[in-house]
Structures are given as structure tokens and as C-alpha cells.
Amino acid sequence: MRRAWKAQRCPPSRLALRRAECRADEDLELGALTPELERKLGAAVERMPAFPRSVQKILELTRNINCLPKEVVAVIEMDPVMTVKILKVINSAYYSLPSRITSVSQSVVYLGINTIKNLSLGFAAVGILPRMNAAGFDVQRYLLHSLVVAGTARQLATQSARGEVDPGDCYIAGLLHDFGKIVFAQFLTAEFHDALRYSAERGVPLHEAELAVIGVDHGLAGALLARRWTFSAELVDCIRDHHDPRAEPSAMIDCLRVADQVVRYRAIGDAGNPWRATEAPAAPLRFGDDMEAIVARVGSLEKIVEDAMMFAQVGKEQ
Ligand SMILES: [Fe+2]
């Protein structure tokens, strides 16, 4: 049975933050969960850190194609941690600029608003991750998986879903899709440890092991977290459904699922759910049903992996 939980959608469908009045109308049902599990899950999601307000504001601003660079600069400059990280990246060997950049406004000139938006999103996600957890979940490899899925989903959207979805929205979906695992690793530690072991020992996908052991999968946990972080209903639904074969296909979920599959197939990073030869291609109508052909079509992920490594390195520095 498809879960009863459903976020009420807020128009328009474009992924981004929605205003508070829209969120107040959300009508969520967690009917499939026992009251005890609902309470535990709700408490775990509440204990997660807040999503940085500055980054929410940047996402909100950049939804408008007429957004002025100075508006984005003003928001970043209010966040000293983000400012330091952006300046560190732009002055790193990665960009190899001829002279040192000393201000956020110069950074925006060099990198453009879109890159600045993605940098701030990536740093926000990295900043929320715990350094370690008792569940035995490798957060650094998880981060590499998420960042490469994000970049791959954006690339797939650009190549195969142009005009249907904003590739930047697919990047956000990729970055956040498995965050429910972090909720579990942090606050349902013993149960998640058992689910990881169940999945490995029985050779079943992790989300199925989570349902069997915990009673809820990381899709729903991540969706509750994304809702708490006030992301759009479209993103919340996409995160909830990313392992549900009965979910309505959409450009965003197709790109996310195939990106996730290709990255697991290539064994880049690890989110506790390795590729299995028994898996059917996730979006056959859009991308075909030959996994090797899909992987070949996606091509080299070298640049995306390089970007991800840079994020992971700079993001964890204090
Ligand atoms: Fe997942």
C-alpha cells in the first residue's frame, strides 16, 4: 500500500521555499505508523539542526530570475560562516584564479549567482551532518554519494527533461534525498544499525530493511525533515517517494532515481544501499530499460566527483 502521508501542494510547482501561510495549510497524515513510532520519528526530526536561514533566503531570492546579485551578496554577508567558506573555495586551487578574491560580491562576479547558490546549499547540508554516529553509518561516504547524486540529477535534467523541471531543483532533490538516513543514524541509532545489518545480511534494499526493522523508511523520515526545513511540497513528496515504485512519475523523481541508481552502480560514495544486479532501471519510460546503456549515456562523472570532493573537504573545515 502506498503510504497515506501526503503533503498538500502549494502552487506553483517549482521547487523552492514556500511562504509560511502556505505551509500552515499542510495536511499531513501518518496513518500507517503506530502512535509510538510517529512520536519517536517526530521527536527525531525535531532534534535535527535547523536549515540555515541564510540559505533558505538565497533559495527564495534565486527563484526569481530577475534576482539581483547584490541581494544574494547581502544575505551571504550576514552569515559569517558561509562567507568564510565561499571565500575559501573561490581562493582554493580548485578555481585557480589569478588573484585573491576578498569579498562575496567579487565571488558572485566570478562564479555567478547559480554557483553561489549551489555552494551555499552544499555547505548548509555538510554543516548539518554529524561528525560521527553510533549506528556505524559512514557520513563522509554518504556525503559523497549525495553530492554526486545531486550533480548527476542536475545533469540528467539538463539533458533529458529540459523545460519540465529546473535542473537546480533536481540538484537540491539529490542533495537532500537520503537525509532521512541521517535522522535515523543520529536519533534512532540502534534501530538503524539493525536495519543496515538486516539489509546487508539478507541482500534486500535498505529502505525495505528499514520498513521491516524500524517500521518506517528514510524516505518518509527525510520528507518530514524537508517539510520542517520548509522546502516545497514538490520536494517533500519527491523525497518521500524516491523508493516507492507506485509514486507518480515526474521529471524530478525520474532524474533523482536514475541519478541515485547510476551513482550506486558506479559505487561512488556509499549510502548503505549498494547497487544490486536484480534492480530494474528506475525510470524506463524516460531513460530506457538497459542499465549499461543508461550508465554509458550519463558518461563520465569525473567533474561531478571532483566538485563533490571539494565540497566535502571545505565543508568540514571549521
Ligand atoms: Fe534513498
153 lies in a domain? yes
Position 177 scores a pLDDT of: 96
**Among 206, 217, 234, 173, which Cα is nearest to 6's?**
234
- Residue 20 clears pLDDT 90, i.e. is over it: no
Judged by DSSP in three states, 231 sits in strand
163 lies in a domain? yes
62 lies in a domain? no
Position 317 scores a pLDDT of: 66
Q: Is the separation of the CB atoms in 269 and 143 below 8 Å?
A: yes
Question: From ligand 1's centre to the CA of 67, what distance in Å?
Answer: 33
Question: From ligand 1's centre to the CA of 69, what distance in Å?
Answer: 34
Question: From ligand 1's centre to the CA of 125, what distance in Å?
Answer: 16
Judged by DSSP in three states, 17 sits in strand
Question: From ligand 1's centre to the CA of 294, what distance in Å?
Answer: 19
Whether the link from the prior residue into 12 is cis, omega within 30° of 0, is yes
Q: Which amino acid is at 193?
A: H
CA–CA separation, 220 vs 143, rounded Å? Answer: 19
**What domain count does the chain have?**
1
Burial of 67 (0-12, 13-18, 19+ CB in 10 A): middle
72 lies in a domain? no
259 lies in a domain? yes
CA–CA separation, 142 vs 139, rounded Å? Answer: 5
Res. 51 pLDDT band, cuts 50 70 90: very high
Q: Which domain holds residue 288?
A: 31-49+131-316
92 lies in a domain? no
Q: Which residues surround ligand 1, an ion (CB under 5 A)?
A: 178
pLDDT in tens, 200-216: 999 999 999 999 999 99
| Residue that the C-alpha cell 534494499 belongs to | 205
Question: From ligand 1's centre to the CA of 207, what distance in Å?
Answer: 7
210 lies in a domain? yes
Question: From ligand 1's centre to the CA of 29, what distance in Å?
Answer: 21
Position 21 scores a pLDDT of: 32
Question: From ligand 1's centre to the CA of 5, what distance in Å?
Answer: 17
Question: From ligand 1's centre to the CA of 12, what distance in Å?
Answer: 26
35 lies in a domain? yes
Question: From ligand 1's centre to the CA of 275, what distance in Å?
Answer: 12
- Residue 22 clears pLDDT 50, i.e. is over it: no
Q: How many CB atoms lie within 10 A of CB 277?
A: 6
The CATH number of residue 222's host domain is 1.10.3210.10
Position 45 scores a pLDDT of: 96
Question: From ligand 1's centre to the CA of 221, what distance in Å?
Answer: 11
Question: From ligand 1's centre to the CA of 242, what distance in Å?
Answer: 6
248 compared with 257, residue with greater pLDDT: 257
Burial of 118 (0-12, 13-18, 19+ CB in 10 A): buried
Position 314 scores a pLDDT of: 73
- Residue 2 clears pLDDT 80, i.e. is over it: no
Position 95 scores a pLDDT of: 80
